[in-house]
Structure 1
Amino acid sequence: MATSFDDSATRGKRAGFAKRISTHLALALVSFCLMQIFIVGRMGGSLVLHLGIIIAIGGFAIVARHLERRWVMLDRSGLSREGLRLRFRRDVLQLWCGSLLGALLWIPVAMIFHALFG
């Protein structure tokens, strides 16, 4: 499991952690968007829920940009490669858990919305 967070696709290239986190952010954003659209669509989403998706994606983009800036600064710092690797794994785990669980939060929101407004 730990090797999946080590990003084996860029292992031979020796890419910086900032570039690798950007790749994870892009994939997490796409999966976040697709899951939200699928869940709201399956729950019989209304215009209000679709507007909520737009707001959630905007919030995700703001957080993603902050995380990307953080990794650009960390990549330029003098931290050891092992210290960066540990931080990278933690941030990637938090990113993917937040992305997947954040998208799944639309299930109870849609259920409550349909219970209140039919």
Structure 2
Amino acid sequence: MIARILAKDAGQTLIPDLLVRKRRTQALGKYSARERAKIVSGAFAISPRYADRVRGKNIALVDDVYTTGATTDACVKILKKAGANSVTIFCWARVLPMGLERSDLASALAADA
């Protein structure tokens, strides 16, 4: 729903099934960033139906919640390998590391940029 609204407002085409899962992955909630990356590595692919629509394009990838970045990183890797010119991540919420003080928030967000 978020992607649909963003695409419409930007006058862009939405392709909700551009990325497909090659295999199921377990729930990631209890795993570290490194473990999450390993779990999702190779789990996604470009749908053969849209493979020719990625090369040279600037892609906007919408994620509802950005936790460690493992899933978005895996998707960006696949999109870049398929020839995307750039991939921009739009997320609705960001999970911050445990124990992060409010004063550290700006530094943490800047480091992710």
Q: TM-score by structure 2 length?
A: 0.25
Higher helix share: 1
Structure number with larger C-alpha Rg:
1
Q: TM-score by structure 1 length?
A: 0.24
Higher strand share: 2
Greater RCO between the two (CA within 8 Å, min separation 6)? 1
